Chain A
Amino acid sequence: MIAATFVPEYTASIFLPALYVGLITGFIALFGISIQKNDLDVLILTDIIGLSMLVIVSAVGTDLAEALILPGLVVELAEIMAISELLLTREMRKLEKDGPLLPNTFKLDMEILNTAPNFIAIILVLYGVFLTGFTGGAIAGAGILFYAISKKSKGLNINIFDGIAGISGIAWTLWIIGFLTFFIVPQYWLLSLLLAAFGILIKVALKMGLIGIMNREEIKKE
């Protein structure tokens, strides 16, 4: 096999077992789908087949395979989102009413709901800042989003995020400046790298935060 020259011996040795694991997972999921009658359960089981696809793609183990996992994952997500939207539309059409598609806010009086969200959000934001770059931005944004959602689910108002959205433009400028510096004066590569990394960190984090705000306003409208 040619792959043995591109990847370590160990990775090449687990190629076939991983392939079998992927195929068996796929067959188990297909069997599950064949005996299920509920549409929602079928949709959830279909996601397992997507996971088996990821297993087989990652079994190859080269850099290129790593680059292929991301589009595979995105395609899986897009498909499951499209199909679940379709399912929602169909059920709404069957009921012949246009109710809110998002789940309603629920009220639970538990101590852990007051304390845990802040802590988890802080950990996520700090870890995101530590990582920097696109991944860090996504994690920090997830932290902000998590905070907003958990506050919202208790029915509290959150006003702090509306002002932060304005910083997004500045972060974008930072990123562009960093990018330009990289091409015009390559000897300051460290400066431009940091500019770009922190710019995109703030940018992505704010984007994720904004999604939370929009989500909240959608709920408020209804």
Chain B
Amino acid sequence: MDIAALSGEIFGFIPLGDIMLYITPFSLFMFAGALIFTFLIAISKTETQVEAEFGSLEDNRISIDLKEFKIRRFLAIICGLATSGAMITGDLFNFTLFVTLIGILNIGIVSAVKIIDVLDSAFQYGLIAMISSMPLFSGAALILGATGTLSILNLAQIQPNPMVYFGSALILIGLLGESGVAPFYATKAEMFRTPGSPFILIIHLSSLLIITRAIEILLIINTF
């Protein structure tokens, strides 16, 4: 599909060797949004979870110590940067790499907690993320094999063949697993029970933005 028809008029190109970044209102908005959210996360403090204790009037406060806070903030910032990178990239394989990077960082953000249930679900999510990196990369490789290019600008001008459809289907499966949406949501739901709210939010935001961007890319590749 013509890129301008889907994501708006192209403002300009950033040529980086083989990789040609293109800037549309769509990608620019999401890139800036991810960066702004990352900045907000970098300057914010964590929440403290307060649970009412059963059978008494006391409260149970769960707060995280400074070391854990620093690790988690660092990983959350990297995750935000990876998300913004995935928003602006013009190369299919770079996009899949950013997606897997976000998957690893999502595991890392919750890995420092001390709640066994959360660690358990993070382990399950990690397995799913690792398994789904196979269809993700394979799909990108199949599209490369079928068309000879990975640049989204070039792919937009190539008539898709069945191999491209198959590769796109694989990429879609990989994305669903890696960002933990619909069929794989059960693995990720428990992860959000960790204390330390603003850093957990980046997990939500990255999945949301990644899925939006992936739909754009898949539409560009598969329609002519």
- List the B side residues contacting A82 at CB < 8 Å: 104, 107-108, 111, 126
Q: Does A218 contact B (CB under 8 A)?
A: no
Q: Does B214 contact A (CB under 8 A)?
A: no
> Interface on chain A toward B: helix, strand, loop, or mixed SS?
helix
User: Are B126 and A86 closer than 8 Å at their CB atoms?
Assistant: yes
Q: Distance in Å from the Cβ of B75 to the closest Cβ of chain A?
A: 11
User: Are B145 and A60 closer than 8 Å at their CB atoms?
Assistant: yes
Q: Which of B112, B126, B141, B148 contacts A79 (CB 8 A)?
A: B126
Q: How far is the CA of A42 from the CA of B103 in the complex (A)?
A: 18
Q: Which of A22, A62, A68, A87 contacts B123 (CB 8 A)?
A: A87
User: Are A3 and B148 closer than 8 Å at their CB atoms?
Assistant: yes
> Interface on chain B toward A: helix, strand, loop, or mixed SS?
helix
Q: Does B67 contact A (CB under 8 A)?
A: no
**When A1-B146, A75-B133 are in contact, do A93 and B114 touch as well, CB less than 8 Å?**
yes
User: Are B127 and A76 closer than 8 Å at their CB atoms?
Assistant: no
- List the A side residues contacting B103 at CB < 8 Å: 79
Residue of A19, A59, A83 ringed by the most chain B CB atoms within 10 A: A83
User: Are A79 and B104 closer than 8 Å at their CB atoms?
Assistant: yes
Q: Does A100 contact B (CB under 8 A)?
A: no
Q: Does A168 contact B (CB under 8 A)?
A: no
Q: Does B78 contact A (CB under 8 A)?
A: no
Q: How far is the CA of A93 from the CA of B115 in the complex (A)?
A: 8
- List the B side residues contacting A5 at CB < 8 Å: 148
**Of A44-52, A121-129, A143-151, the one touching chain B:** A44-52
Q: How far is the CA of A46 from the CA of B112 in the complex (A)?
A: 23
Q: Which of A15, A49, A59, A86 contacts B119 (CB 8 A)?
A: A86
Return the chain A residue nearest B141 by Cβ. A57
- List the B side residues contacting A80 at CB < 8 Å: 130
User: Are A57 and B137 closer than 8 Å at their CB atoms?
Assistant: yes
**0/1 interface trace, chain B 132-152, chain A, CB 8 Å (1 if under):** 011001101110111110100
Chain B, range 166-214, C-beta contacts under 8 Å to A: none
User: Are B142 and A83 closer than 8 Å at their CB atoms?
Assistant: no
Return the chain A residue nearest B93 by Cβ. A68
Q: How far is the CA of A33 from the CA of B148 in the complex (A)?
A: 34
Q: How far is the CA of A117 from the CA of B137 in the complex (A)?
A: 38
B interface residues with partner A (beta carbon < 8 Å): 93, 97, 100-101, 103-104, 107-108, 111-112, 114, 116, 119-120, 122-123, 126-127, 129-131, 133-134, 137-138, 140-142, 144-148, 150, 163
25 contacts across the A-B interface (CB closer than 8 A): A3-B145, A5-B148, A46-B127, A46-B131, A53-B133, A53-B137, A56-B141, A56-B142, A59-B145, A60-B142, A62-B144, A65-B141, A65-B145, A68-B140, A68-B141, A75-B97, A75-B137, A79-B104, A79-B130, A82-B107, A83-B126, A83-B127, A86-B119, A93-B116, A94-B116
Given contacts A80-B130, A94-B116, 16 further A-B contacts (CB under 8 A): A2-B146, A6-B148, A46-B131, A53-B138, A56-B134, A56-B138, A56-B142, A59-B141, A60-B144, A60-B145, A75-B100, A75-B133, A79-B104, A79-B130, A82-B104, A83-B130
